[in-house]
Amino acid sequence: MKKTTSTALIIISALILISFTSGFSYWLGKKSIEEKFITSELLESKLIPNWTAEITGKVLEITRYTLTLEGEEENLTIPAREEVIVQRVSIEKEEKQVEEINFKDIKTGETVRVKIGIDQTGKIWAISVIVFSK
């Protein structure tokens, strides 16, 4: 009887130890993956000239080469370079029409989709702007 109890205790102890080790290994692996994405090595890479993202919002304010957009929970001011590509998209008779316009032709209140780039210095720039006509 003592031998059966001892064997059962050893097996239970081994299973607990294996479970603890597996859980800890999983936690360490997950933590190392998270750290790889947080490092600035990717941001500083010469192979990646800039990162891009898209933002959609309503134009609150426009100055020479700066857009302030209103989103669901916040406003964001985005600078643009002079070479920014701006297009107006409209749908007439179920046909999409696209025309290239100047940055100064954007009006407050219009809905826009801005493609932004983040360069290696961390600056954000508008690369292109699509204005949606009603």
| Better-scored residue on pLDDT, 22 or 40 | 22
Token pair 């209103």 is found at: 70
The residue-averaged pLDDT of 5-28 equals 72
* Model confidence at 6: pLDDT above 70: yes
**pLDDT confidence of residue 79:** 93
What band does 26 get if pLDDT is binned at 50, 70 and 90? low
The Cβ of residue 62 has, within 10 Å, a number of other Cβ atoms equal to 19
What band does 30 get if pLDDT is binned at 50, 70 and 90? low
The whole-model pTM stands at: 0.62
Q: What percent of the chain stands above pLDDT 90? A: 36
The residue-averaged pLDDT of 19-47 equals 61
* Model confidence at 32: pLDDT above 60: no
**pLDDT confidence of residue 8:** 73
pLDDT tens digits along 40-51: 666 666 766 667
As a whole number of angstroms, the distance between CA 38 and CA 17 comes to: 32
DSSP 8-state secondary structure symbol assigned to residue 102: -
As a whole number of angstroms, the distance between CA 36 and CA 102 comes to: 41
